[in-house]
Structure 1
Amino acid sequence: MDTFSLAFALKQFPQLLKALPVTLLITVVSMAVGLALGTAIALCRMYRVPVLGQLAHVYVSFIRGTPLLVQIYVLFYGTPVLLDWLESQWGWPLPADGVPPLLYACFALSINTAAYQSEIIRSALGAVDSGQMEAAYSVGMSTRQALLRIVIPQALVSALPNFGNTFIGLVKGTSLAFSVKVVEIMAVAKIEAGDGYRYLEMYLNASILYWIICFGFERAFSVMEKRLSRHERAPVH
């Protein structure tokens, strides 16, 4: 057996592209849900909302202190137990067998990235001058209006690089979804590698594809950052 077969690697690379939509779907959904949840968590902690603020602190500490793979396994094996218990106690028709693995992966990555995004959002909002809120109040704006129209747009500029890093981290984090039977890039690589035990070729293919994806999004976020911050570079007349 040859140590490395370039012909096999080139032949099987298109097979990985078939799993690309699944990887991107998990990434985009998890990023969107995590952003919404992370924003709520950040605001609860910043404004010290009773009970919710303390729960948010514990949530962030727990998620950041445990491995993503462990969280995926806990959700994958724990959710059916919870659903069965709710059905037995309350009579709720919640079939655990009907939950697709893709949903578990999206849910696990969403709650994981929400903890990290909440810290990004909290630091970005804290970096905005407090006088901005006072100025908004002085012209009759509510807290909600001040946040949406003044504070958040400014915070977005400073938070965007970290959001980009988080998004790229999510792309790579989807590689753990194959552990709960989601057929994404790593799962396809493992399946195809079984044909002749060409694991090196397929895992190298997977690493190249992940690098291409991450490089593309890295450039996209760089362009977005430059466009959002162009007003800061504008010359003063």
Structure 2
Amino acid sequence: MEKLLDIGFLIESFPVIIQRLPMTVGIAVGAMVLGLLIGLATALIKIYQVPVLKTISSCYVSFIRGTPLLVQIYLVFYGIPKVIYYFQYEKGWLLSLDVNVIAPEIYALLAFSINLGAYLSETIRSAIESVDRGQFEAAKAIGMSPTQMMLKIIFPQALAVAIPNLGNMFISTIKDTSLVFIIGVIDIMGQAKILGSRGLVFFEVYIAVSIIYWIVCIIVERLLVKIEKRARRYERGVAS
């Protein structure tokens, strides 16, 4: 009689799946860093109403928010090599670049960064605009340059407002990395699928991978709570 749940196989699958955890976390962290840079640039373009770039950034945000992440991953994975080939053979550029040696992890990182940049831009923009306008005027009154004003006054206060949303986006990104297996990246979800297919024991490996995702997200959530508390203390210090 077939077992409902093979506990032994379930326990044995944990260390095998966890081996690929650095890949999952690495893509999520890398995408978050690049996404923050893209999001910050896009947010500042909208805030300062930069001609032409404002329209481009609005179209970018609208497109990303209006299309599934899965489609975006495919567009990056199949589109970038096509663009590179075009410039190589039609324009004679990028001849030293071989798309065949570009690891699928790079495409995954780019896709997630582009996706996060669009969503984070709105989070960053709203956080910056939530800072009291008097802070801007006070910084100008004491002779601060726009860069100094942003780095020393505005960004620290905006960060305290944005951290909860940034944390939620990061946790969602960790879970969304389960999609990267479709382009050949072996993360914890990909490892679970491979392991399960060997003996057609999918139920156990999916339980294992879900527990791993759950634990990782709990740890990240606890760290974010501590970061938010520190940011709030800094915000009160600036306000006083």
Q: TM-score range by the shorter chain?
A: over 0.9
Q: Which of 220, 223, 227 is the aligned partner of 1:220?
A: 223
2:160–2:235: 8 Å Cα contact kept in structure 1?
no
Gap runs ≥5 in structure 1: none
Q: Secondary structure at the match of 2:49?
A: coil
Once residues 79 and 140 of structure 2 are traced to their aligned partners in structure 1, the CA distance between those partners, rounded to angstroms, is: 47
**Which residue identity does 2:119 align to in structure 1?**
Y
Q: Which of 150, 153, 168 is the aligned partner of 1:150?
A: 153
Q: Which protein has greater RCO, CA pairs closer than 8 Å, 6+ apart?
A: 2
Q: Deviations over 1:101-160 (max 9, x none)?
A: 000000000000011110100000000011111111111111111011100000000100
Pairwise CA RMSD of aligned residues? 1.6
2:156–2:235: 8 Å Cα contact kept in structure 1?
no
Q: Secondary structure at the match of 1:229?
A: helix
How far 1:2 sits from its partner (Å)? Answer: 1.9
Matched, 1:41 2:17: no
How far 1:80 sits from its partner (Å)? Answer: 1.3
How far 1:89 sits from its partner (Å)? Answer: 1.7
- The within-5 A match list for 1:155-166 is 155-166=158-169
Q: TM-score, normalised by structure 2?
A: 0.95
Count how many residue pairs are aligned between Structure 1 and Structure 2. 236
Q: Deviations over 1:45-99 (max 9, x none)?
A: 1110011111001100100110001100111111111111010122233322111
- The within-5 A match list for 1:1-237 is 1-91=2-92, 92-230=95-233
Sequence identity (%): 46
1:157–1:225: 8 Å Cα contact kept in structure 2?
yes
Q: Deviations over 1:162-183 (max 9, x none)?
A: 1100110110111101110001
**Which residue identity does 2:121 align to in structure 1?**
S
Once residues 87 and 174 of structure 1 are traced to their aligned partners in structure 2, the CA distance between those partners, rounded to angstroms, is: 31
Q: TM-score, normalised by structure 1?
A: 0.96
Once residues 209 and 98 of structure 2 are traced to their aligned partners in structure 1, the CA distance between those partners, rounded to angstroms, is: 35
1:84–1:94: 8 Å Cα contact kept in structure 2?
no
**Which residue identity does 2:69 align to in structure 1?**
L
2:130–2:158: 8 Å Cα contact kept in structure 1?
yes
**Which residue identity does 2:134 align to in structure 1?**
G
Once residues 66 and 105 of structure 1 are traced to their aligned partners in structure 2, the CA distance between those partners, rounded to angstroms, is: 16
Once residues 231 and 161 of structure 1 are traced to their aligned partners in structure 2, the CA distance between those partners, rounded to angstroms, is: 16
2:27–2:177: 8 Å Cα contact kept in structure 1?
yes
Q: State the 4+ residue runs in structure 1 displaced beyond 2 angstroms.
A: 230-234
1:72–1:105: 8 Å Cα contact kept in structure 2?
yes
